[in-house]
Amino acid sequence: MAQIGIGGAVIDRIEESVYTDFKAATFFSEWSPEIVAQHRSWMVPGHYDEQKGNLKLTVQSWLIRSGGHTILVDTCVGNDKRSEDHLAWHMKSWPYLERLAAAGVKPEQIDFVLCTHLHVDHIGWNTKRENGRWVPTFPNARYIFSKTEYDHYNAIYSKNPADRPSFEDSVLPVVAAKRAEMVSGNHRIGDNLLIEPAPGHTPGHITIKLEDDEERAIFTGDILHHAIQVYQPQWNSEFCFDQAQARATRRRVLEHCAESGALMLPAHFGPSYACHIAERGNSFVPRFLRE
């Protein structure tokens, strides 16, 4: 997709992969053929593999250049990372850094890395393998982690390291290198970016709001995984930590987008990846950008 302009800010999408192994009826417990029939015109083929019954979810980062800063939101799965639970992500070799370079940015030019949460597909490129060690991929960046999120997964890792190998290879090396900054509550980066708590999918999930010249965008991570959740905001994924809170956060974010006109940039939507939101009764409608 083309670059997105929000005021004076410029946003690029950096794709790592398209993941097609999640069964829709497992991922969403409320999934039904009737819903597919209602939305088939836009879901197939870009968002749903009808033959296999699988969702199509993009794994991507958002690159922001704003206020003299270069910021990367979420860092996908990464190369050479263990992921036995999802073998399509296990020990991969993706041209992610080449795609970042094609957008005009080298790893050392990244000023901030913002992880909406600490699931495996949002932290992988935090580090790279170098001389047998995991080191920060973006050596000059400040990595911003929610303290609530970090403490939650650090406690799990401390009890059973084998349960969270991604924490060991993609988070702890950043902390050891003294590149991490733990934040709580609202936190500003420069004049244009605001981090806000958005718990539910995970305990310390955050959103990143961008406002530049009275134009707005919001980076929503996994508050929504798939565009069907715009129409069905009560639907949670099987991976949501707190079901009630996830629903409340999702509705709050959708209402914010509808009321403010903010462009929504999720982590996993298919084409065209970003959308405006309009209210429709007790639900919402996505208005995707043209590719």
What was the pLDDT predicted at 71? 98
What was the pLDDT predicted at 163? 85
What was the pLDDT predicted at 83? 87
Structure confidence at residue 291 as a pLDDT band (50, 70, 90)? low
| Cβ partners under 8 Å of residue 125, min gap 6 | 16, 61, 75, 76, 77, 78, 79, 96, 97, 137
Classify 172 as helix, strand or coil: helix
What was the pLDDT predicted at 1? 61
On whether the pTM is more than 0.85, the answer is yes
* pLDDT digits 0-9 by tens, 73-93: 999 999 999 988 888 999 999
In CATH, 4-288 is 3.40.50.920: no
Amino acid found at 162: A
* pLDDT digits 0-9 by tens, 211-221: 999 999 999 99
Taking the C-alpha atoms of 133, 138, 141 and 143 in order, what is their torsion angle to the nearest 10 degrees?
-60
CA distance 191 to 165: 36
| Cβ partners under 8 Å of residue 106, min gap 6 | 100
38-65: string of b/e by CB count within 10 Å (b at 16+)?
A: ebeeebeebbbeeeeebbbbbbbbbbbb
| Cβ partners under 8 Å of residue 127, min gap 6 | 78, 134, 135, 136, 137, 169, 170, 173, 174
* pLDDT digits 0-9 by tens, 92-113: 999 999 999 999 999 999 999 9
Residue range 242-262: mean pLDDT, rounded: 98
Give the distance, in angstroms, between the CA of residue 273 and the centroid of all CA atoms in the same chain.
Answer: 12
Q: Where are the alpha helices (DSSP H) in the chain?
A: 24-27, 33-43, 96-102, 147-159, 165-170, 172-176, 228-231, 243-260
Residue-range domain boundaries for the chain: 4-288
What was the pLDDT predicted at 162? 85
Classify 93 as helix, strand or coil: coil
CA distance 280 to 284: 5
What was the pLDDT predicted at 34? 93
- Give me 120's structure tokens: 């495996």
Structure confidence at residue 131 as a pLDDT band (50, 70, 90)? very high
How much is the mean pLDDT over the chain?
96
What was the pLDDT predicted at 281? 87
* pLDDT digits 0-9 by tens, 140-187: 999 999 999 999 999 999 999 988 999 999 999 999 999 999 999 999
What was the pLDDT predicted at 268? 98
Q: Which of 32-36, 67-71, 226-230, 256-260 bottoms out in mean pLDDT, i.e. has the lowest?
A: 32-36
What was the pLDDT predicted at 150? 98
Structure confidence at residue 2 as a pLDDT band (50, 70, 90)? confident
Structure confidence at residue 66 as a pLDDT band (50, 70, 90)? very high
Q: How far lies 54's CA from each of 31, 59, 225, in Å?
A: 11, 15, 13
* pLDDT digits 0-9 by tens, 109-129: 999 999 999 999 999 999 999
Query: Of 137, 121, 116, 53, which is closest to residue 89 (Cα–Cα)?
Result: 121
